[in-house]
């Protein structure tokens, strides 16, 4: 093997031993509205210290989804918004507990700012009782934004949404929905379009394994 080939092989090995994808830069602050800032200033929870790996970054992205697609890596607790030129914005998320998590392909069927929360019958049975409807606001479990996932023309009842429990970002804790910090979901909401594709990878599949396969083929 030539010196150049050895160097490239070593670089690939080091990357695979690390986080599997190159972090290019943090993104700018989310574009919060005056209403967002007012409501978040009265949030009834302590500001959580989100670990560095779950903070919002622009990263290299090797999968084949089209720009504008949302990809949720359930195992790694990351959500990717795919950008042009093999890049993506990576956000930390909380995902559903085992046996309650959604996986598959959906589309964005509805978007809402500071949405009301209507607990499902299942949530009422397991975790209630809750009011039939909880008004939108900083104490609401859906947080600042909700992105509603549809399968065909039918609401799947799964959402990507904000949270009033930011300390759980990076964990599998929810009743199936995908939680983001309120600033991150506001940032994603400002980018996503109605009808956009959402790919939620099942346990055992991850963006990192895709990256590993790409580097293996190149070495």
Considering the candidates 177, 192, 198, 207, report the single residue annotated as catalytic: 177
| Beta-bridge mates of residue 88 | 59, 82
Alpha-carbon Rg for the chain, nearest whole angstrom, is: 18
| Beta-bridge mates of residue 203 | none
- Of 7, 1, 218, 205, which Cα lies nearest the Cα of 105? 205
Please check whether residue 82 is in contact with residue 66, taking contact to mean a CB–CB distance below 8 angstroms.
yes
Considering the candidates 56, 90, 145, 161, report the single residue annotated as catalytic: 161
Does 161 qualify as catalytic in the annotation? yes
Assigned token pair, 106 = 């959906």
Query: What distance in Å separates the CA atoms of residue 199 and residue 22, rounded to the nearest whole number?
Result: 21
Q: Which residues does the annotation mark as catalytic? A: 161, 177
């Amino acid at each position: 093997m030539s010196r150049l080939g050895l160097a490239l092989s070593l670089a690939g090995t080091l990357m695979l031993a690390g986080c599997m994808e190159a972090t290019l830069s943090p993104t700018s602050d989310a574009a919060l509205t005056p209403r967002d800032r007012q409501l978040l200033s009265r949030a009834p929870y302590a500001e959580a210290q989100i670990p560095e790996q779950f903070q919002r970054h622009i990263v290299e992205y090797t999968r084949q989804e089209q720009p504008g697609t949302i990809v949720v890596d359930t195992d790694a607790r990351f959500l990717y918004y795919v950008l042009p030129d093999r890049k993506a914005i990576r956000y930390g998320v909380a995902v559903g507990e085992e046996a309650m998590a959604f996986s598959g392909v959906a589309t964005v069927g509805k978007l809402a700012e500071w949405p009301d929360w209507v607990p499902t019958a299942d949530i009422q049975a397991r975790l209630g009782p809750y009011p039939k409807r909880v008004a939108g606001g900083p104490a609401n479990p859906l947080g600042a934004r909700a992105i509603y996932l549809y399968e065909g023309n039918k609401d799947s009842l799964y959402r990507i949404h904000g949270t009033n429990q930011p300390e759980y970002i990076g964990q599998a804790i929810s009743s199936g929905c995908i939680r983001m910090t309120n600033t991150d979901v506001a940032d994603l909401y400002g980018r996503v379009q109605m009808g956009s594709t959402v790919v939620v990878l099942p346990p055992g599949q991850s963006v990192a394994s895709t990256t590993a396969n790409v580097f293996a083929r190149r070495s």
